[in-house]
């Protein structure tokens, strides 16, 4: 069979992911972590890992379980691994947050929490990576976007590897070299995670989703490959070069600066491909997901510009948090929320009305959403993210908390729209559940 079956647990991954996002935003609203605490303080690590593992990685895994089989035109290697992976990742994240709370003095000194977290997260991500990588491997002729997924999965392994080393070191177990790695290697962990795993994977998936949803021709495979090579080289340089530099005790600044240049080239190549997709699209009227994804791309461009200006004026280190915030919330979260809005509607439509298609009148995918209402929440989300970035740049912690509160409200607004879609609440009465159809479950697909 070909890879067009519905993934049973993708909705569950999305639901848990977005709940973590709200929790992360609430913590920023009450002033937990940066900027009230230092960027490397345990409280900040709690928020960062809620956002990067709980929200972004969970949402990405859910989307990949559905779309890697489509990219590879092969069924998923092991359908049965999705739920155990979800449980392991959730338990691992809870243990990790507990471990950081220990370091922050909020919990008794349970040093075993961090190594336990590392074990659970590595096992959970290990299941995800193995399942997806074997699925792509089995594809007869992997498409360009699939290469990005593989590079993203390799970066995930590197990120998890660094993270585990840190966890052992913080727990006081392991060799002394680990503490050297902990002292200098945190940027490598962050770049492999945000830049490698999340950004490279988002790039690969966006190529396919944008061309699918905007009716654009696929980007030429050669162009995709060039971008892929530049992106993989960037992350490879950061990980391998960074480790060598730490081992040779030369400091990692030179490696980071060269990787910054390569990363800039990657993003320029990617930007050119994205402009091509929007330019050559055949759908004249853009749907909300494509419009909002464009705001995500604009945030990425703004982050690149910000980093360049800060680097030239020698203030990058002082404002690296504002840059990371814009990457995490403007680019990655913005793009994921925009695509989630379409993916949830599409998967709900095919799950509910697929069996009745051609046999009776059924609604269109667009009948499941109310774009006008959702657009306001998305608008509020992006404006509050940009305001939050400005507040961080200007060192205004109170303004940042107000922006974080606005982000929380906007996210809850978007969640409400997703629930309405899943509940078929926007579909006009007679078309809502024609004979032969069943209302979908909110949190998983009935397959």
- For 161-188, the DSSP string reads HHHHHHHHHHTT-S-HHHHHHHHH-HHH
Nearer to another protein, 5 or 130 (CB): 5
What are the structure tokens assigned to 96, written together? Answer: 């990790």
Residue placing its CB nearer to another protein in the complex, 139 or 383: 139
Out of 21, 114, 132, 143, the only residue in the binding site for another protein (CB under 8 A) is 143
- Residue 359 C-beta: closest distance to another protein, Å: 6
Residue 110, sorted as left (phi over 0), alpha (psi -120 to 50) or beta, turns out to be beta
Q: Judged by CB, which is closer to another protein: 222, or 317?
A: 222
Of 281 and 420, which CB lies nearer to another protein in the complex structure? 281
Choices 34-42, 89-97, 163-171, 356-364; region in contact with another protein by CB under 8 A = 356-364
Residues 271-290 that bind another protein (CB under 8 A): 282-283
Nearer to another protein, 138 or 376 (CB): 138
Comparison of 283 and 441: residue with beta carbon closer to another protein: 283
Q: Are 105 and 53 in contact (CB under 8 A)?
A: no
Of 199, 112, 192, the closest CA to residue 149 belongs to 199
DSSP secondary-structure letter at 280? T
Which of 30, 357, 419, 425 binds another protein (CB under 8 A)? It is: 357
How far is 240 from 237, CA to CA, in rounded Å? Answer: 5
Q: For residues 41 and 70, which CB has a smaller minimum distance to another protein in the complex?
A: 70
Considering only residues 201 through 240, tell me which ones interact with another protein, judged by CB under 8 A.
212-213, 215, 221
- Judged by CB under 8 A, the stretch of 22-30, 127-135, 246-254, 357-365 that binds another protein is 357-365
Site string for another protein, 36-75 (x = CB under 8 A): ----------------------------------x--x--
Return d(Cα 178, Cα 171) in angstroms, integer: 11
Site for another protein in 396-435 (CB under 8 A): none
By CB under 8 A, tell whether 244 contacts another protein: no
Residue 299 structure tokens: 């945030």
Find the binder of another protein among 81, 207, 331, 349 (CB under 8 A).
349
Is 1 one of the binding residues for another protein (CB under 8 A)?
A: yes
Q: Half-sphere exposure (CA, 13 Å, Cβ side) for 366? A: 8
Residue 435 CB, nearest distance to another protein (Å)?
14
Please, what is the minimum distance in Å from the beta carbon of residue 73 to another protein?
7
One character per residue 71-110, x = contact with another protein (rule: CB under 8 A)? --x-------------------------------------
- Give the integer Cα–Cα distance in Å for 378 and 77: 36
Smallest CA-to-CA distance from 320 within 40, 96, 13, 104 is with: 40
Could you give the count of Cα atoms lying within 13 Å of 375 in the half-sphere of its Cβ? 8
Question: Among 175, 359, 373, 376, which residue interacts with another protein (rule: CB under 8 A)?
Answer: 359
What is the rounded CA–CA span in Å between residue 445 and residue 447? 6
**How many residues sit in the footprint of another protein (CB under 8 A)?**
27
Q: Give the range of 43-51, 83-91, 140-148, 265-273 binding another protein by CB under 8 A.
A: 140-148
28-37: long-range pairs with CB below 8 Å, 24+: 28/400, 28/401, 28/404, 28/407, 29/401, 29/404, 29/405, 29/408, 30/401, 31/397, 31/401, 34/321, 35/321, 35/392, 35/395, 35/397, 35/400, 36/397
Whether 300 and 328 have beta carbons less than 8 Å apart is answered as no
8-state DSSP, 6: P
Element (DSSP H or E) covering residue 75: none
**Span from 171-179, 358-366, 383-391, 409-417 in contact with another protein (CB under 8 A):** 358-366
Distance, in Å, from the CA atom of 117 to the CA atom of 158, rounded to the nearest integer, reads 16
For residue 149, the minimal CB distance to another protein (Å) is 16
Q: Which of 90, 352, 362, 421 binds another protein (CB under 8 A)?
A: 362
Residues that bind another protein (CB under 8 A): 1-6, 70, 73, 140-141, 143, 212-213, 215, 221, 282-283, 346, 349-350, 354-355, 357-359, 362, 365
């Amino acid at each position: 069979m070909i890879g067009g079956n519905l993934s049973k647990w993708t909705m569950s991954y999305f639901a848990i992911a977005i709940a973590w996002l709200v929790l992360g935003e609430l913590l920023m609203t009450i002033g937990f972590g940066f900027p009230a605490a230092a960027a490397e303080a345990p409280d900040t690590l709690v928020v960062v890992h809620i956002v990067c593992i709980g929200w972004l990685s969970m949402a990405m895994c859910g989307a990949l379980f559905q779309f890697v089989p489509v990219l590879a035109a092969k069924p998923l290697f092991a359908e049965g691994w999705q739920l155990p992976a979800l449980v392991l990742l959730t338990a691992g994240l809870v243990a990790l947050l507990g471990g950081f709370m220990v370091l922050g003095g909020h919990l008794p000194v349970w040093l075993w929490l961090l190594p336990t977290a590392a074990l659970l997260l590595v096992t959970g991500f290990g299941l995800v990576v193995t399942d997806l990588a074997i699925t792509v491997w089995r594809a007869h002729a992997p498409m360009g976007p699939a290469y990005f997924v593989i590079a993203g999965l390799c970066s995930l392994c590197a990120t998890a590897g660094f993270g585990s080393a840190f966890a052992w070191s913080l727990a006081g177990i392991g060799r002394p070299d680990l503490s050297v790695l902990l002292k200098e290697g945190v940027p490598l962990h962050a770049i492999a995670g945000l830049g490698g795993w999340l950004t490279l994977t988002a790039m690969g998936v966006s190529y396919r989703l944008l061309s699918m949803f905007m009716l654009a021709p696929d980007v030429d495979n050669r162009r995709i490959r060039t971008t892929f090579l530049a992106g993989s080289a960037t992350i490879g340089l950061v990980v391998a070069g960074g480790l060598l530099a730490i081992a040779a005790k030369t400091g990692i600044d030179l490696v980071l600066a060269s990787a910054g240049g390569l990363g800039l080239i990657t993003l320029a190549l990617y930007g050119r491909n994205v402009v091509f997709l929007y330019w050559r699209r055949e759908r004249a009227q853009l749907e909300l997901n494509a419009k909002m994804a464009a705001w995500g791309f604009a945030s990425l461009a703004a982050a690149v510009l910000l980093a360049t200006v800060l680097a030239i004026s020698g203030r990058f280190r002082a404002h690296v948090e504002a840059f990371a915030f814009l990457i995490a919330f403007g680019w990655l979260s913005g793009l994921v929320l925009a695509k989630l809005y379409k993916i949830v509607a599409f998967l709900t439509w095919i799950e509910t009305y697929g069996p009745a298609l051609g046999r009776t009148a059924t609604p269109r995918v667009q009948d499941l959403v109310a774009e006008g209402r959702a657009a306001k929440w998305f608008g509020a989300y992006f404006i509050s993210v940009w305001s939050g970035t400005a507040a961080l740049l200007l060192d205004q912690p109170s303004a940042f908390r107000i922006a974080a509160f606005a982000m929380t409200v906007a996210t809850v607004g978007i969640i409400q729209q997703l629930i309405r879609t899943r509940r078929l609440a926007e579909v006009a009465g007679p078309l809502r559940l024609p004979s032969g159809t069943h209302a979908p479950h909110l949190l998983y697909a009935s397959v």
